[in-house]
Structure formats: C-alpha cells, structure tokens
Amino acid sequence: MIRKVFKKKSSNKNRIDAFLDKYNLPRTYLAINRKSISKGILIGLFWGFIPMPMQMLAVMATTPFIRFNVPIAISMVWLSNPFTMPPMYYMEYLTGNLILGREGIGNVELTMEWFSEHFSDILIPLYVGTAFYSIVVSSLIYFLINWLWIKSVHNEKRSKTEERNTKNEEN
C-alpha cells in the first residue's frame, strides 16, 4: 500500500530523468523504493529534531555520504516548523531532564529575558533530549517504515495470489 502511493506519484518520468542527466545527479536522490524513502525519512527526522538553523542545508550536506530520497528528507525536516518547534523543543527538554534525572525549571516564562537568564540551565537537557529523539526516535521510525513497506508488499502479493486462485477456481 505504501509503495503504491509513492509509485503513483512518479509521473513525468522523462522530465525527471532529463533533470538528473543534465546535472549528473545520482538517481537515488529521487528514487522511489523502500531503501531510498526510508533513509530519506531517517535523515530528515534526524536533522528535523535538532534545534538549529538551516536544517535543509544539513540534509543537503549529508547527500554525498548517504544516498537517500532528498525531497522526502527535506519534507521531513519541515515537520519542525515555527508552529511545532516550541512543543517539540519543550518535549526534548523534558526528556533530557528525565534522562539526566533533573527536576528542570518550574516557572517557564516566554520572554527573551527569562531565556537569556536560564540558557545554561536549558541547554544541556535540551540537547540530551534532542540526541534521544534524533537518534532513537528517528531510527525507530526508519525501522517502522521499512517493516510497513515490506508488510504491504507481502499483503499485495498475497492478495494477487488469492485473486488468481479465485479466478482459476471459477474457470
């Protein structure tokens, strides 16, 4: 099922091939297969969980070292956008405090003055939580996508076999 969704979106193949040939880019940067898509999701979520500017450039800097679907990775980075960043980073901060066994700061104020006063108290738990989500959660999602893709292929094959058997029985 997952595979079918991505395969249906692969129209305009001639234009994509011409673009890849023109700029001498590897086909895996736009490939629609299990490995490329799941690696793209992994890389995108990895960089998306890290509180830093220019996350899309970090994805692009990763491309020479790991082959993955770049548009998928860039879209995964955008899961951390101006609306989702505050809850994501607060969740990472709380997770970092939990991992470090700290209490954390109780009275949070959303002012620049408060953040500048408590920056050193926030930084270490935030990045410990960030490391957890960037490494552990994005890896779990990578394995989940792989498993779902494989399961969908098996289900598709099974349904085709059952359909073929039903047609043979009718004849």
More confident: 70 or 31: 70
Per-chain mean pLDDT for the chain: 86
Beta strands in 18-87 (DSSP E): none
- Residue-wise pLDDT for 74-122, tens only, equals 999 999 888 998 899 889 999 999 999 988 787 777 788 888 888 888 8
Instruction: Kindly state the average pLDDT of the residues 123-136.
Output: 94
Whole-Å CA distances, 92 to 8, 51, 124, 133:
36, 10, 11, 7
Please name the amino acid found at residue 84: T
Instruction: Kindly state the average pLDDT of the residues 34-63.
Output: 93
Q: What is the pLDDT of residue 114?
A: 82
| The pLDDT of residue 169 is above 80 | no
What are residue 74's phi and psi, to 5 degrees? -65, -40
Instruction: Kindly state the average pLDDT of the residues 53-62.
Output: 93
Instruction: Kindly state the average pLDDT of the residues 7-18.
Output: 65
**pLDDT band at residue 12 under the 50/70/90 scheme:** low
**pLDDT band at residue 21 under the 50/70/90 scheme:** confident
CA-based nearest residue to 31, from 74, 68, 64, 73: 68
Q: What does the alpha-carbon distance between residue 120 and residue 72 come to, in Å, rounded to a whole number?
A: 35
Q: Which segment of 17-26, 37-46, 114-123, 129-138 scores lowest on mean pLDDT? A: 17-26
More confident: 104 or 59: 59
Q: What is the pLDDT of residue 163?
A: 85
